[in-house]
Homo-oligomer: A and B are copies of this chain.
Amino acid sequence: MTPATTAAAGRPAPRGRIDKRQAILDAAFAVFARRGYAQACVQEIAEEAGVAKPTVYNHLSDKENLFRHAVVAAADLVMAENLAVVERLRDPGDDLRAGLEDVGYRLLKVCCGQRASALRALTYAQLATFPDLAEVVQGRTAGRLGEALADRFARLALAGRLRAADPARAAEQFLALLTGPMEARSRLGTRAVSAAETREVAGAAVDTFLYAYGAMDQGPPASHCDPVATRAAVIGSSAVMSSSSSAGDNAS
């Protein structure tokens, strides 16, 4: 279905009418992501798509249009991945904490992946030029994701596995607890974050989330009951002014 998804392979271009359009959109997103909107030139996009410049203008009238379509397409791709992950909460195992940590970890992997990072950067970058794009992208990603999560949380609450509370708020905060710390640690997506650290962030998010939204029957998380960890935290707190960073000290 997408024979040119790889794009810009050595082939000098198999003339004819294949999926030029799709190839162009893929190449466009790649180039925009790499260079930014203003610095990306249509010529380069055409080359990366294995297509001539006029062909680009033939399919997508101008640069702005090209950009919008490429961004929306990428947003839909990211969203599909995220929704697939959230579906896993439809039947969490006996261990809700483990299930949430798994979902959290997978969401983080998607949200900090190449596509999602580039998408966020591009959207932010063009806030000044195309303010409406923020709404479109947000509506196709965060919005739907929040709704899907809220759906799952609502069912879990009815099943007595989460406290009865506004599921929309729970979803909103669950996502915030995941992505907020990740954004900081990945320096807005410029630094790679190890799987271990990602897992740690997910674990911390789920801990806090379950404190607030967990049903009564599940005790506090193991890491918080561990007297050693707790002691260390308290000791560390008095020395926090002198130490520059406390990340990566010890995982759960």
Chain A interfacial positions (CB closer than 8 Å to B): 33-39, 120-121, 123-129, 131, 134-135, 138, 142-143, 146-147, 150-151, 153-155, 157-158, 164-169, 172-173, 175-177, 179-181, 184, 187-190, 204-205, 207-209, 211-213, 224, 230, 233-234, 236-238, 240-241, 245-247, 249
Q: Can you name the residue of chain B whose Cβ is closest to the Cβ of A156? A: B237
Report yes or no: A127 in contact with B181, Cβ–Cβ below 8 A. Answer: no
| Contact residues in B for A138 (Cβ distance below 8 Å) | 184, 187-188
- B121, B175, B208: which contacts A128 (Cβ < 8 A)? B121
Q: Can you name the residue of chain B whose Cβ is closest to the Cβ of A234? A: B164
Report yes or no: B189 in contact with A127, Cβ–Cβ below 8 A. Answer: yes
- Contacts A121-B127, A212-B208 given; does A168 touch B247 at CB 8 Å: yes
Report Cα–Cα, A249/B171, bound state, in Å. 16
- Contacts A157-B237, A234-B164, A237-B154 given; does A121 touch B129 at CB 8 Å: no
